[in-house]
Structure formats: C-alpha cells, structure tokens
Amino acid sequence: MIFAGLAEKLQETFRRLKSKGRLTEADVDEAMKEVRRALLAADVNFQVVKSFVARVKERAVGQDVLSSLTPAQQVIKIVREELAGLMGGTQSKLNMAPKPPTVVMMVGLHGAGKTTTAAKLANLMRKQGRRPLLVACDVYRPAAIKQLQVLGEQLDIPVFSMGDRHTPVDIARAAVEHATRQGRDLVIIDTAGRLEINEEMMAELEELKAALRPHEILLVVDAMTGQVAVNIAETFNKRLGLDGVVLTKLDGDTRGGAALSIKAVTGCPIKFVGVGEKLDALEPFHPDRMADRILGMGDVLTLIEKAQASFDAEQVARLNKKIRSADFTLDDFLEQLQEVKKLGPIQQIISMLPGLGNMKKLKELGDIDDRELVYVEAIIRSMTPWERAHPHEINGSRRRRIARGSGTSVQKVNSVLKQFEQTRKMMRQLAEMGRGGKKGARLPRNLFPGKDNPLF
Amino acid sequence: MGFFNRLKESLSKTRQGLVEKIENLITGRQVIDESLYEELEEALIGADVGVETSLELMETLRRRVKEQKLRDPARLKPLLQELITDELGTGDSSLNRGGPPTVILVVGVNGVGKTTTIGKLAYYYKTRGERVLLGAADTFRAAAIDQLEIWGRRVGVDVIKHREGSDPAAVAYDALQAARARKMDMLIIDTAGRLHTKSNLMEELKKIRRVLGRELSGAPHEVLLVLDATTGQNAISQARLFSEATGVTGIVLTKLDGTARGGVIIGIRRMLNIPVKFIGIGEGVEDLQPFNPQEFAAALFD
C-alpha cells in the first residue's frame, strides 16, 4: 500500500524531532507533506486540501507541545479537529413540512444508489413514526420502476408509479395528491440518474422542483467518487439548491474524501450514510468518525459505542479478570463468543478497528463466516461442564460423542479445541504483557480473543 | 459523427480541465521552479490522474528537465504530452477469444453500469455478425433480470435467466449449456454488483468462475471489470481485490462522457496493471467502443 496510514507516517516524521519542545515551521512543513498526500489519496479535492493544509500549518506552527503529547499526536489532533470541523456538525434530520405531506426529492448521477437509498430512507422514517410513500419517477432506466416496486414490497411501503409513459412532473404531482388522500405524510421521489452537464435532464429536475416545491432535495453521492465529486455537487447545488447529501457505499474500503470535499465546497450538510446492502443500512452521519476514516484511523468510536450498548459491563469485567489470571475455560470462551456476536457481523467489527484496515491479514480476517460461530457454540454446548473445565481430558471417544451431539464432525471438534488452546496461549501472553507494563494497542484486548486467533 | 469526433467532444471538459490548465500554468512563466511543478502536479491530481501516477509523472518531468537542461517553461507542455502519451501505452484492446462460445464474465461494484455495459457489448458484437447470448446471473438486485431482458430485446439477443434469488452459478451453468446448444459465438454473463471487500460475495464469483471453467476449458476467456470513471483512488483497491478473486483480464471504463473525468484513464495502466479494453462515452447504445490509447491521446491533446 502506498499510504500506510497517516498516523504512522507522522509518527515517523516526528521521531527525529523528539527532543524538541516546540515545532518549527520546517518541522510542520515536513509533516504537512504527509498530511497532504494522505488527504489526496483519500480523494479529498485538491483545492480543499490546499487551503486545509495552510490552515493547519498556521495553527500548528509555534504551538507549545504539551508534555503529555508527542508532537505527532499534537499535529494529528489539530488535523482531526479541523477535518471534523470542515465536515460540520451532526445533522441527520430532514426538513419537515409544517403541513404534510413532506416532499423529499432524491437526485444524483447514474449508479449512485438513489433507488436503494430512497427505500432505505422510507424505512428509516417509518421507524420514526412517519407514513412514507415512495414515488417512481425514473422513467428512463430499464426496470428502474420495477426495482423500486420490489423494494417497496420487501418493506411493505406503498410505491406510487404510472409506468414510463408519463413525465416525471405529472407522476410526482399525482403522487403528492395521492399521498394527501391516503394520509401519507412523507413523499420520497426517486428520480433518474443524470450527468450534471446534461442540460435537458437538469432542466427536468428544475421543473420538478418548481412543480413540487420539495421540502428537501437530497443529493445521493457514491462515497468512492474521486476529485470530480466537487464539480458534481456544485452543479447540482447551483441548479437546485441542495438541502443535504447522502453518501452511499461506505461499507467498502473507500476513505470517502468526497464527503469532506462536498461539504467544504458547497456547504451542504451530509445527512445520512449508506453502510450496507440491507434495507436498514442507512445511518446518521458522524463528522468526527469520518475524519478518522479519511486519516486511516479506524472507527474506534463507533465500535466503543456499540460495545458499550451491547456488553454487560459486569460480565466483561469478570471475563477480563479471568483473562489476566490465565484461568480461561471453554465456558469463558463461549461467553466471549456470545459477547462478540452481539456487536454485529464480525467483518463489520474488523473494519472499525484502527490498523487492521491496512493489515495483510485482513483478507483472512475478512473470510470469517458468522455461521462458523454457530458450530463452535454447538460444539461447546455438547460438552459436559467437567469437559469444559478440563479441555485436555477430552479424549477420542469423548470427541466422537461431542461431534455427534453437535451434529458436526470430529475434525470440527478438534479444530475448535485447537483454536481454544491458541486463544488461551495468547491470553496468557497478553496477561504477561499487561503485567510487564508494555503498552500496545489497548482497545481490543478485552473485547476479542485477539487478531491472531484463527477464529477471528 | 464518427466515434473519434464523439470521443473528442466527450473529452472536451477533460481537455479544459487538464491540457488547457497546463497551458495556462505555463504561459507567462519565466522560469521553471518548484511552485510551477507543484501547480502542475495539482492539475494532474485534480483531473483524477491519481496521486501516485501524478507524483511519478512529475518526478520524471523534473528528471527530464534536468537532463535536457531546459529553462523555458514553454518546453514543458510537449514534454508532458509525451509522458502522458507514454503512460497511456500502446496496448491491444481486442478481447481474448476461445470456445466457442467465448465466455465473458462481467464484474464490478454496485452502480458502475455492468448491465448497461453488457447491453452495449452485445450490440457491438451482434452488429459485427456474431451470435451473442446473455446470462442473467445478477439474481440479487431487485429487477436486475428485467433490466437485462429489456436490453436483450432492444439489441435482439436472448437472455438466459432463473428466478430472483437463485444461485448465480447455476444461471451461469445453464447459460453456458444453452450457448453451446445454440452454437453461439459469445456468451456474456452479468453478475450482481458487490463491494470488493465482501469476501462471501467474492467467493460467489469464484464459484461462477469454477463452474464455467469446469464446463468449458479456458472459460471464462475474459473477465471484465467495469469501473466508473467518477471513482477516485478506490479504483485501485477494486481492481486488486476483484483480480484476486476472479482474475480480471480487462477493464471497461464507463461514464467517461461529458465532465472532466478522462484523466482517470491515464493512471489506470500504471496503478492497476490491467489493460483497458472498452470505454463508454455516452448513453447511446453505440457509445461503448474498444479503447485505443493513441486515438485517446490524440483526442485529448489535438
């Protein structure tokens, strides 16, 4: 990889300056070169990068380096603050009409994910007590209407369509009337994808806007978009006056610099992000987390939040104590698996851990199948309490019984026991490391058996 | 209007965004200095040439300037043009053939235009007298099969399909059997869009590949990765992971039309090390054409 993560690069740059208590302009210049490259590699628009780097430089030069922080961390802190600031505060609310129905228009390029996002948004708003109506105004792309209808059916949300023989304006007008009659208080209009330079198609959106007076126009943008993201957003904003942006396909490995660029140049808030193929995978946007992602620092906050929400604190404390005492049984192993399962799909968890994003091992890690955990669970549950406490005593005949009991094979039982043994070994090492006072990546230690565990 | 002229027209914004910008930066300058290099580098990056490629182009430029002891900034433009043309390469964009039928597997992330590309590819080969069959192995996205069928009707080729949600590898298998029975020259298989980071979905692609290879040795003869020209640096990651899973043999770059996104093609060869085989420069059925680097360079600079 070209960009191993900004944090490490900066650490490296500053190692030479360790003795200094104050950053000189030359030091900062050196660091800013790395910042610039990291941002460009994350697809942040080059003009945005330029002014951003200048601003950070100004703040960083001459600052006293706090005794508790290394210069690298100091600069990263400034970079993070400025990045998060650029992306604005959290704002994941739609403008609601004083008199329903509220009309929301989804616009964007081809393939940005408008149709899927429209359905996801309807689903999210229904959870908040709204009664949404989806409207199929993409009369151009083959089968686009059908796609929205299928999604509506899956969600059990009504879809209004008049086929592809009417103009989008006629369809949308009729849809709003329909919504009023049916007591639907939220109308979400899916429009056709278009290039921002296609005069005719942009004029159609303006017409649609004039006819409907929508309360919210959302631009749907693929998070993988490159430098052109800014031109796209600017043009749509100029023609239509955007109220917000939805960033899609963030569940991939894109850094998502497009988000930052769009916010910085147009001022439009990013309201939601799409994080998966499932219809409930639409989330509010968090600027600080996006900043970390752009810098390659992982989404630690989301993970911690998730962990806090789903972990039984007492249980975790008990487990941690056990880990440290190296008195770790198969029962604890099972308990830990269940805690981890609560966090969500393992792949998602891994993607949130800092450092792991760049690891060579990521591929193997990514191959974990959540279904595997079900087998492991069944196997451990098929053991007697005595066996769980004495894994070494499980002989061939016991293994055969366990395999039959869990509906698996002896090989599977063997591999679970092996995995457990490795985990235990690592636990012991971790416990020793903890006693030795060596500081490593602290976060995952109490959450996971560890990244070297073949299971994880 | 011929394809070359349409190519020129669709690259007009790229020309403004890159070539004319370079010209503007150079004119009026007295000396070649660091700030000029930096601005040229920004022009390249801003045109989505790619960070790595831009940095390396600039390094080569610096070296050449030193070697040739150039002083006049006006000399930079022909030099850059030469470097960029080199970067585009000469390459042969014809498809690998085999079979019959030649089996083409089309893969890519969500929303890059796979289904549309297949419709246009089918049209391209059908108008050249080949017998083409389509396989609808995107059984995941709502209405994807319908979309491919509409394309099939438009172009006048048959589509082999199963129901939504069925096993894509089974569709591929049936499509291949049908293509053989009907003595087709070419089978193009659509797959569901997937983010390259989802390993279970990449396994699904490997399975399709295995099934095809078992039934017809050498198949798929061509695995085309469809890339959206608006994609930024993530294209590198997409190419790498799709290649690992399916052995990508060529790239189709879509949505090159109109805006200043032509620059992305300059960096692709270096970054991805996979030849670009087709480019899409418009929404019309004829707007997908084999990629010819020299023609592209000519359309960009002249």
Task: Convert the pLDDT of each residue in A220-276 to its tens digit.
Answer: 999 888 888 888 899 999 999 999 999 998 887 777 788 788 888 888 888 999 988
CB A218 within 8 A of CB A224: no
Strands A132-136, A159-160: parallel, antiparallel or unpaired by DSSP?
parallel
Partners of B233 on chain A (C-beta within 8 Å) are: 41-43, 226, 255
C-beta atoms of A227 and B232 within 8 A: yes
C-beta atoms of A251 and B197 within 8 A: yes
Partners of B42 on chain A (C-beta within 8 Å) are: 46, 50
Q: What is the mean pLDDT of chain A?
A: 77
Task: Convert the pLDDT of each residue in A298-348 to its tens digit.
Answer: 554 455 555 555 555 566 566 566 656 656 778 877 877 776 666 655 555
Q: Quick one: average pLDDT of B163-174? A: 90
Secondary structure element (H or E) that encloses residue A217, with its range: strand A216-222
Q: Is B222 on the interface with A (CB under 8 A)?
A: no
pLDDT of residue A73: 66
pLDDT of residue A3: 35
Selecting from A110, A195, A226 the residue whose C-beta is nearest the C-beta of B48 gives: A226
Confidence grade of residue A38 (pLDDT, cut at 50, 70, 90) = confident
Q: Quick one: average pLDDT of A129-148? A: 92
pLDDT of residue B120: 94
The domain limits of chain A are: 6-86, 102-295, 301-446
Euclidean distance between CA atoms A18 and A21, whole angstroms = 8
C-beta atoms of B197 and A351 within 8 A: yes
Secondary structure element (H or E) that encloses residue A105, with its range: strand A102-108
C-beta atoms of B197 and A112 within 8 A: no
Spell out the alpha helix ranges (H) of B216-280.
234-246, 264-272
CA atoms within 13 A on the CB side of B227: 36
Q: Is A75 on the interface with B (CB under 8 A)?
A: no
Q: Is B259 on the interface with A (CB under 8 A)?
A: yes
CB B146 within 8 A of CB A144: no
**B3-88: which CATH architecture?**
Up-down Bundle (1.20)
Q: What CATH number labels B102-248?
A: 3.40.50.300
Confidence grade of residue B209 (pLDDT, cut at 50, 70, 90) = very high
Angle subtended by helix axes A6-15 and A71-86, to nearest 10: 150
C-beta atoms of B150 and A142 within 8 A: yes
A80 against B207, higher pLDDT: B207
The Cα diameter of chain B in Å comes to 70
Chain A segment 217-256 residues within 8 A of B by beta carbon are 222, 224-229, 231-232, 249, 251-255
C-beta atoms of B259 and A146 within 8 A: no
The reply, when asked if residue B137 is annotated as ligand binding, is no
CA torsion, points A426, A428, A431, A436, in degrees to nearest 10? Answer: -100
**Class assignment of domain A102-295?**
alpha beta
Task: Convert the pLDDT of each residue in B68-91 to its tens digit.
Answer: 888 888 888 888 888 888 888 777
In this model, does residue B158 exceed pLDDT 90? yes
C-beta atoms of A222 and B45 within 8 A: no
| Interface test mutation site (partner B, options A49, A228, A361, max chain B beta carbons within 10 A) | A228
In this model, does residue A179 exceed pLDDT 90? yes
B155 against A87, higher pLDDT: B155
CB A248 within 8 A of CB A117: yes
Partners of A363 on chain B (C-beta within 8 Å) are: 199, 244
CB A213 within 8 A of CB A102: no
Task: Convert the pLDDT of each residue in B250-300 to its tens digit.
Answer: 999 888 876 556 777 887 777 777 888 998 888 888 889 898 888 888 887
Domains A102-295 and A301-446 share a fold: no
Rounded to two decimals, the ipTM of the complex is 0.78
Q: What residue type is assigned to position A380 of the chain?
A: I
In this model, does residue A131 exceed pLDDT 50? yes
pLDDT of residue B113: 87
Residue with tokens 């304006």: A169
**A6-86: which CATH architecture?**
Up-down Bundle (1.20)
A355 against A84, higher pLDDT: A84
The domain limits of chain B are: 3-88, 102-248
Chain B segment 111-150 residues within 8 A of A by beta carbon are 111-113, 140-144, 146-147, 149-150
Euclidean distance between CA atoms B109 and B191, whole angstroms = 10
Q: Helix, strand or coil for residue B1? A: coil
Domain A301-446 matching CATH 3.40.50.2000: the answer reads: no
Strands B186-191, B288-290: parallel, antiparallel or unpaired by DSSP?
unpaired
Partners of B46 on chain A (C-beta within 8 Å) are: 45-47, 227
CA–CA min distance B47, chain A (Å): 7
C-beta atoms of A258 and B200 within 8 A: no
Residue with tokens 């930096």: B38
Confidence grade of residue A399 (pLDDT, cut at 50, 70, 90) = very high
Selecting from B110, B143, B255 the residue whose C-beta is nearest the C-beta of A249 gives: B110
Q: Is B196 on the interface with A (CB under 8 A)?
A: yes
